[in-house]
Structure 1
Amino acid sequence: MRNDIRLHMIGNAHLDPVWLWQWQEGYAEIKATFRSALDRKKEFPDFIFTCAGAAYYEWIEQNAPDMFEEIRGRVREGRWVIVGGWWIQPDCNLPSGESFVRHGLYSQRYFREKLGVTAKVGYNVDSFGHHGMLPQILKKSGMDAYVYMRPGEHEQHMDRSLFRWRSLDGSEVLTFRIPISYNNSTATKLEDKVYGKALEGMALAEQHEHSFMGFYGVGNHGGGPTIANIRSIRKLQAELGSGRFRFSSPNAYFDEMRESGQQFPVYENDLQHHASGCYSTHSESKALNRKAEHRLLAAETFGTLSHLLTGYAYSSEEIQRGWKNVMFNQFHDIMGGCSIREAFTDARESYGESLNIAAVTLNAALQRISWSIDTMKPEIGSLSKDMDWVLWEQKDAGVPVVVFNPLSWEVHTLIQVNKQVTSVSDDQGEVVEHQIVRGSRTNGKDDKYDTAFMARIPAMGYRVYWIYKRKALGAAAAPVHQLTAEPAALENDWHRIEFEPHTGHIRKLYDKKHGVDVLTGSGAVPVVIDEHHCDTWAHGVFEFRNEIARFGDAQVKLLEAGPLRAVMRVTSRYGMSVLRQDFILYRDKPGIEVKAKLDWHEKHKMLKLSFPVRVRDPKATYEIPYGYIERPVNGEEEPGQRWLDVSGEPENGGLQRYGLTLLNDSKYSSDVLGNDLRMTVVRSPIFADHFGERDEYCEYMDQGEQHFRYMLVPHAGDWRDADVSKKACELNVPPIYIVETYHQGTLPQMFEGVRVSAEHVIVTAFKPAEDGDGYILRCYETCGRAGDVRIEIPALDRVWTVQIGKCEIKTFRIPADSDRDVFEVNLIEFSL
């Protein structure tokens, strides 16, 4: 028995603010648990308590200020240790990269302001899996170590419980996997569970030849260390030595391991799989999460630009409040879809608040800009609605439509304006071709049609187009590309897509530019999977391949036939469920966009869409938060973000490499078996079913209607050659337009907000600095290609060049004082 090996006893309380209860119950439990931990400190002077989750501390500060002051004192003593550095313990696969940044930004700054410390150890002991870019995000958020428990050894073998976890950019954090449990539970036969578990932990430490951590305390519904727990540890100290069983913290443990001089293995991958079913449960909350993340960023970007261009002052505090709701709902039992039904009603309400906060801020910012644009025409004297009850057009002068683009590159996209008009022109007076399409209203005999046109909108900027109710401007320039539609086929210059009339499946997807049949069989096949054997989490299930049926009894109908787009509607059925897919082909851009509506009424079943890609030696690459990862094509269910690609050696066309990328706007789970790419659309397990006794009171998830979109991007080369990161953003972040009127203004009719020289670098955030001094711009490298990038913010008259590494996240401070240079900061906006 080596005396230099010890077990650091970590007194903690795992607090699920939501799971088999609602947040109000979690709120009360957190107060009681923190009170209990403070009582232990009075009773046992050597006791140390550890707890993560800035949200919990804010609740205490607001609701029990005297107790918060007591906690502050214990933190100063070093007997109450802050870990985690995030708002809660989120699901660590599903939030966006920027969401993970906001967890650290708001939480670490809160801890420093209120408690005088920041967390040094990342702490997600109950989250179900951990994406491979976390080391960089943790490191740049002030944390150089990490603690987790899932997946366990039975789910993912690890040579060591302590290792250096490295992300693609090269960042490393020293990482410890809890080997037994984060609370008192253990398989020991001893009546004293803490005593027995500590002996197990010490045995593992001896086996690994270095110190370990042993976690104790009542968990999940709070509670924390009990008097009996601490007495058990004192018994161990008396019998086996106080130096071997030490009241400690994760901070102290990692400090000891660094100082030991030992070398630990490097691990370069993500940490999966546990609860694979959680990435497709409760579609609504996942869709709301995606929408809220993007809308808050758009509101922040244009709120900042509107301030620079017009002096508009938006509330950063309101945006932060919106982010706090989103971050709370990213808690692993909410985002993972494994809580009770009532919890998701609460989540819907708080997502709604965040979406509304973002919508109000975004609208005010955009309207302030649009009202400041000079749209006056010489023939207009004053405003009057004599000509039309909707538009302010006079004297056939047209009406300005201001189109905004939140993304950091120019987008070429279709704009659908809520009015039928005769002509459209751009800001230079050039005629723009348009198409009359069905609107979402049925108002009277003729008022049910909209006008669609293709627009090019500058990066993080706007452009004015003009619509004319009755004035015919003449023909637009002759089109460069062609679009044709047949009863069961669509074709443009890039693709031909054919449908089987009786099934609705894609019979053929042909890449005309490269002469490649993209699919090796039927595509967009709705496959029904049986999963009666699964609980809500799908514990112990890693593949969903028990196919029992396919949607059929299809109707294929041509809805639109150009000139700008053609739309084929495919409606298919299974049981009491109906899937409607509108396949959209554009004349002037590649890719097949799909708008889907699912009315689902199945129980203990899963729906997947299958696309067998015609390639040999396939490789599957998934977008993960602020990065990407290649995973085996072994049929295992995997989490992902906005895109999934399968590429390999094509069977025809004479190319060296070919592939298909599937983009989505709200889905997070997929699998690839060989060359068969399958996106998971929906699961319908019982709410919060942990292999319980099923009865007539059970209720099932995702019953009824849901809407989602996806896009198919066939490409030569690999996914990098298809620019899929940007295309995925475009699918998720549509442009916004405002129908304006005539007015004088100081702003031009076209404005570009940012210029980025490198195509593989995306700007994700542009905001005021948290301390009020200047602005913050964040970008990341998308393709694994290091290089120099030149960034320009015209509204600030700022230009700088920086070297960005492979898969690196860069955050820049732009001081308000223009004499000071732009400089890099970390993710919590502290100087490097």
Structure 2
Amino acid sequence: MGTALGTDLATKRDQLLAATQRLSAPLELSAFLVRGEPVAFAEASRGRYAPFDVGESWGPPWSTTWFHIRGRVPSEWSDQNVVAVFDIGFEGRHTGFTCEALAWHDGRPWRGVDPNHRWLPITSPDVDFYLEASAIPTAVVSGPADAPSMIALRESAAKAFVFRQAELRVQDPAARKMALDFKALYDLAGALPDGDRRTEVLKALDRFAKSDDAGELEAALARPSTSPHVITAVGHAHIDTAWLWPLRETRRKCARTFSTALALMDEYPDYRFACSQPAQYAWMKESYPDVFEGIRQKVTAGQWEPVGSMWVEADCNLPSGEALVRQFLQGKRFFMKEFGVDTRELWLPDVFGYPASLPQLIAESGGEYFLTQKLSWNDTNKPAHHTFMWEGIDGTSVFTHFPPADTYNGDFSAGEIVKSAADYKDQDRSSHSLYLYGWGDGGGGPEPDMIESARRLGSIEGAPRVELGRASEFFAGARREARNLTTWVGELYFELHRGTYTSQARTKKLNRRAEQALREAEIWSVAVGADYPAGILETAWKRLLINQFHDILPGSSIDWVYEDAERELEAVVETAGGVITSAQSAVAGVGDNLVVFNPNSHARREVVEVDGQPRWIEAPSCGWRSVDEQAESQVEPVSISGRVMQNGLLRVTWDEEGLLTSIWDKEAGREVLTSGARGNLLQLHEDNPKNWDAWDVDADYRLHAVDVTALATAKIEADGPLRAAVRFVREFGASKLEQRMRSTGGKRTNFSRWRFPSPSFRRGRRMRSSSATSSAARTPTRVGTRPGLRCALIAGLISAKRATGSRCSTTASTATTSSAR
């Protein structure tokens, strides 16, 4: 950007920023490499350190290198602001997706070092501290390139980073002020439309460029804002609980970012920082008690604001309603217990869609407000409003705000501030919006320069008014001054990332099993009436809830994340299973009677295995019954004759390819299949989304399909009178698919389940069925791939137990049909 006078203002800006630091003195480095899991500072400080020079490579993927930093401030700098400046290998890499470090001073976490926070203040002549540097490799999330396994990279010896800078420098406060003044005006001129104010700013910059008279800048900054719009700016760092890094690395990302935020609060008393996800706070309490105590103090001082209500920023489409309730329960309970804070908002800026049940859950948990910005990513219909009332399925409404900057990682440039007000879609109903600024995902949160920018843009002509504040203050004030807001009724559907309903099917299946197991464990523990295992169940619930984070359960993370998730969810199922067994045994008592348990909210009649034989069993809702207490029920048998299976409800007919030609509903007296159609037809689709393989299903996948009709074998495995089953085996390419069509006596039909004995999918292939969905095969656990099947939700039925405690039947299951939009 230039002026009519031809002055190169961009060059002048860069020169001013470069002049904020001057002089240089070297620092002495030594290094200690740790492979595998990170170690605590106490152990690292006793490590065997080897000399290390700037310019050397370091950091095999996922390793940790501790650098011992030593030096001495030159005596002639004694009255100067001295900083230690680092580049540990940031060049050419994105913020949050590269190497990062935590500085330790006097054995305590000090500040994070990342691409946006490269310098540390030095306040004593002798320099002696440590950097705990994490070598985080870059994952492939889109494009034609294969995504390398992050699990495999754990064994790599290749060093990924070059340590480019480690030196002491003098930071000039006057030069820094002048540079930031110039930058604020330069950015403002770039954001303003042509007109008098823009011309005035450009002329002031040009005059300064020729004279270096700081008064020119100060005069231009002093012109107050006349805008009616007010922006509440809140510091923030959206840290994905897991994504392109495992949970263990997120714990360290939090320590780095939170340490930086605390340090900035000491330097800038007006700085406010909002932070969600109590699970991350709990990590700090466990692993970084000094950081947690600092947070506690800043919460009391009003500078640090806990927000969000949920344990993690959870996916809201795949978890059960009960799991969503537990997210609120555990999240709000932690904030109340640790800080005495009752959060009033649900804070989900990055989640992939929001069901119509959420307003009721927000209100019932004591909340009033909802925040997101994710729907600004919609690929079809952009949201029509930024501030509105969201009404759920029961009529409950909550005040909802989408920050109009369309980001939760704002850089506090004048461009974003001006755009935030100009693009606000509800200016006739409200004059107040929220702005979230700061680098997320390990980028360290707000920079000092962002807070400096906030001070310069607080009230300046050509821009809206900006105040540093708290999210709770914004919501209360915005709700109070808003008028005639539109009401949106129903789901806030996210028109993107539709593939997250299917990716990583095994994790989704384990999630559902864990939800069911915990529900049953609680039901039967309550039934026992004594010694309720509250601590065991709470711990298990938290393990489940953290794995419902919006980049874990939806399937958009690296393979390492799913290695961890599957292990954790299996542990939850095992823990809950032990509680179930203990509780059912206590309820059943001693003896040889068979007792059946039904965890559902309605009575069930099922076929279960008793001593290897099928038996018709009945049980009341959320209750149990001894088999000896019930007479043998007379039920209409199920049978198979030729290619016809029928019971008291349905008659199903199939052809020589195992495709259904008729489903006759006996009760309704009508044909279910469309005339001339065939059911149970599986199809393969090419699935090559334009952007993110693991996230998206583009609409054009439906343009091409290959029917999978070749039948290798069809075998009757049971033919009544209480149970019937036919096994179909299909082969296509290098893959084999087994499918079972089952029915029981009476009026129950479990239509179909399938599995892949030896799954061998090609990348970009996807399968669907015209009549049913599956319990899904194991899928490739890489970012950039998606399963070939939609996954089914598994519904728990009746389990049976001898009074002696031996299990006689496993819980039955059914597959349900769902369709992604």
Q: Give the TM-score, by structure 1 length.
A: 0.65
User: Equivalent residues in 2 for 1:401-420 (5 A)?
Assistant: 401-417=594-610, 419=611
Q: Does 1:513 align with 2:734?
A: no
Partner Cα separation in structure 2 for residue 29 and residue 291 of structure 1 = 31
User: Equivalent residues in 2 for 1:769-784 (5 A)?
Assistant: none
User: Equivalent residues in 2 for 1:59-138 (5 A)?
Assistant: 59-138=283-362
Partner Cα separation in structure 1 for residue 740 and residue 352 of structure 2 = 35
User: Amino acid of the residue matched to residue 682 of structure 2?
Assistant: P
**Match of residue 517, structure 2, among 295, 318, 335:** 295
Answer yes or no: is the 8 Å Cα contact 1:314–1:361 preserved in 2. no
**Match of residue 698, structure 2, among 516, 528, 541:** 541
Report the CA distance shift for 1:708/1:126 in structure 2 as closer, same or farther (over 3 A). Answer: closer
Which residue pairs with 1:29 in the alignment?
253
In terms of fraction of residues, the more strand-rich structure is 1
Which residue pairs with 1:462 in the alignment?
624
After TM superposition, the structure 1 stretch with the greater mean CA deviation from structure 2, 323-332 or 221-230, is: 221-230
**Match of residue 467, structure 2, among 233, 240, 246:** 246
Q: The residue matched to 2:766 in structure 1 has which SS?
A: strand
Report the CA distance shift for 1:203/1:43 in structure 2 as closer, same or farther (over 3 A). Answer: same
User: Amino acid of the residue matched to residue 260 of structure 2?
Assistant: S
Which residue pairs with 1:322 in the alignment?
540
Q: CA deviation at 1:157?
A: 2.8
User: Amino acid of the residue matched to residue 523 of structure 1?
Assistant: G
After TM superposition, the structure 1 stretch with the greater mean CA deviation from structure 2, 295-304 or 266-275, is: 266-275
Report the CA distance shift for 1:165/1:685 in structure 2 as closer, same or farther (over 3 A). Answer: farther
Q: Does 1:367 align with 2:585?
A: yes
Which residue pairs with 1:218 in the alignment?
439
Report the CA distance shift for 1:238/1:267 in structure 2 as closer, same or farther (over 3 A). Answer: closer
Which residue pairs with 2:427 in the alignment?
208
Which residue pairs with 2:615 in the alignment?
453
Q: Does 1:738 align with 2:798?
A: no
Q: CA deviation at 1:454?
A: 1.0
User: Amino acid of the residue matched to residue 320 of structure 1?
Assistant: E
Q: The residue matched to 1:336 in structure 2 has which SS?
A: coil
Q: CA deviation at 1:685?
A: 7.6
User: Amino acid of the residue matched to residue 335 of structure 1?
Assistant: L
Which residue pairs with 2:568 in the alignment?
350
User: Amino acid of the residue matched to residue 304 of structure 1?
Assistant: V
User: Amino acid of the residue matched to residue 305 of structure 1?
Assistant: A
Answer yes or no: is the 8 Å Cα contact 1:195–1:233 preserved in 2. no
Which residue pairs with 2:45 in the alignment?
none
Report the CA distance shift for 1:181/1:401 in structure 2 as closer, same or farther (over 3 A). Answer: same
**Match of residue 172, structure 1, among 385, 390, 397:** 397
Which residue pairs with 2:385 in the alignment?
160
User: Equivalent residues in 2 for 1:326-725 (5 A)?
Assistant: 326-371=544-589, 375=591, 399-417=592-610, 419=611, 450-465=612-627, 479-502=634-657, 504-520=658-674, 521-534=677-690, 535-539=692-696, 541-542=698-699, 544-554=701-711, 555-599=713-757, 600-602=759-761, 603-611=763-771, 687-689=782-784, 700=785, 702=787
Which residue pairs with 2:47 in the alignment?
none
Partner Cα separation in structure 2 for residue 551 and residue 235 of structure 1 = 65
Partner Cα separation in structure 1 for residue 589 and residue 787 of structure 2 = 42
Q: The residue matched to 1:46 in structure 2 has which SS?
A: coil
Partner Cα separation in structure 1 for residue 395 and residue 321 of structure 2 = 17
After TM superposition, the structure 1 stretch with the greater mean CA deviation from structure 2, 332-341 or 524-533, is: 524-533
Runs of 5+ in structure 1 lacking a partner? 186-191, 376-398, 420-449, 468-472, 612-661, 667-680, 690-699, 711-730, 744-832
Which residue pairs with 2:165 in the alignment?
none
Partner Cα separation in structure 1 for residue 685 and residue 805 of structure 2 = 57
Q: The residue matched to 2:496 in structure 1 has which SS?
A: coil
Task: Using the aligned pairs only, state the percent identity.
Answer: 26
User: Amino acid of the residue matched to residue 766 of structure 2?
Assistant: M
User: Amino acid of the residue matched to residue 194 of structure 1?
Assistant: S
Which residue pairs with 2:506 in the alignment?
284
Q: The residue matched to 1:151 in structure 2 has which SS?
A: helix
User: Amino acid of the residue matched to residue 198 of structure 1?
Assistant: I
User: Amino acid of the residue matched to residue 593 of structure 2?
Assistant: P
Partner Cα separation in structure 1 for residue 227 and residue 796 of structure 2 = 58
Q: Specify the structure having the higher radius of gyration (Cα).
A: 2
Answer yes or no: is the 8 Å Cα contact 2:681–2:709 preserved in 1. no
User: Amino acid of the residue matched to residue 454 of structure 1?
Assistant: W
Answer yes or no: is the 8 Å Cα contact 1:19–1:339 preserved in 2. yes
Answer yes or no: is the 8 Å Cα contact 2:766–2:787 preserved in 1. no
Q: Deviations over 1:505-537 (max 9, x none)?
A: 212111122221111111121111111345334
Answer yes or no: is the 8 Å Cα contact 1:17–1:25 preserved in 2. no
Q: CA deviation at 1:178?
A: 2.9
| Residues matched between the structures, number | 572
Q: The residue matched to 1:232 in structure 2 has which SS?
A: helix
Q: Give the TM-score, by structure 2 length.
A: 0.66
Q: CA deviation at 1:543?
A: 5.9
Partner Cα separation in structure 2 for residue 269 and residue 11 of structure 1 = 31
Q: Which has the higher contact order (CA 8 A, sep 6+)?
A: 1
Partner Cα separation in structure 2 for residue 665 and residue 529 of structure 1 = 16
Report the CA distance shift for 1:462/1:206 in structure 2 as closer, same or farther (over 3 A). Answer: closer
Q: Deviations over 1:467-517 (max 9, x none)?
A: 9xxxxx9xx979452433123210123211111212x22121111222211
Q: CA deviation at 1:289?
A: 0.4
Partner Cα separation in structure 1 for residue 248 and residue 509 of structure 2 = 24
Q: Deviations over 1:122-181 (max 9, x none)?
A: 101111111111111111112111111122264333221111000010111111123334
Runs of 5+ in structure 2 lacking a partner? 1-224, 807-821
User: Amino acid of the residue matched to residue 536 of structure 1?
Assistant: D
Partner Cα separation in structure 2 for residue 533 and residue 665 of structure 1 = 23
User: Amino acid of the residue matched to residue 548 of structure 1?
Assistant: A
Which residue pairs with 1:642 in the alignment?
none
Partner Cα separation in structure 2 for residue 178 and residue 165 of structure 1 = 15
Q: Does 1:304 align with 2:459?
A: no
Answer yes or no: is the 8 Å Cα contact 1:99–1:293 preserved in 2. yes
User: Amino acid of the residue matched to residue 624 of structure 2?
Assistant: Y
Partner Cα separation in structure 2 for residue 284 and residue 540 of structure 1 = 19
Answer yes or no: is the 8 Å Cα contact 2:417–2:464 preserved in 1. no
Q: CA deviation at 1:350?
A: 0.9
User: Amino acid of the residue matched to residue 561 of structure 2?
Assistant: A
Answer yes or no: is the 8 Å Cα contact 2:684–2:708 preserved in 1. yes
Partner Cα separation in structure 2 for residue 483 and residue 688 of structure 1 = 45
Partner Cα separation in structure 1 for residue 413 and residue 340 of structure 2 = 32
Answer yes or no: is the 8 Å Cα contact 1:218–1:224 preserved in 2. yes
Answer yes or no: is the 8 Å Cα contact 1:569–1:582 preserved in 2. yes
Which residue pairs with 2:44 in the alignment?
none
Answer yes or no: is the 8 Å Cα contact 1:6–1:205 preserved in 2. no
Partner Cα separation in structure 2 for residue 707 and residue 93 of structure 1 = 14
Report the CA distance shift for 1:568/1:245 in structure 2 as closer, same or farther (over 3 A). Answer: same
Partner Cα separation in structure 2 for residue 505 and residue 607 of structure 1 = 16
User: Amino acid of the residue matched to residue 586 of structure 1?
Assistant: T
Q: Deviations over 1:11-35 (max 9, x none)?
A: 1000012111111110001011111
Answer yes or no: is the 8 Å Cα contact 1:15–1:220 preserved in 2. yes
Which residue pairs with 1:435 in the alignment?
none
Report the CA distance shift for 1:573/1:552 in structure 2 as closer, same or farther (over 3 A). Answer: farther
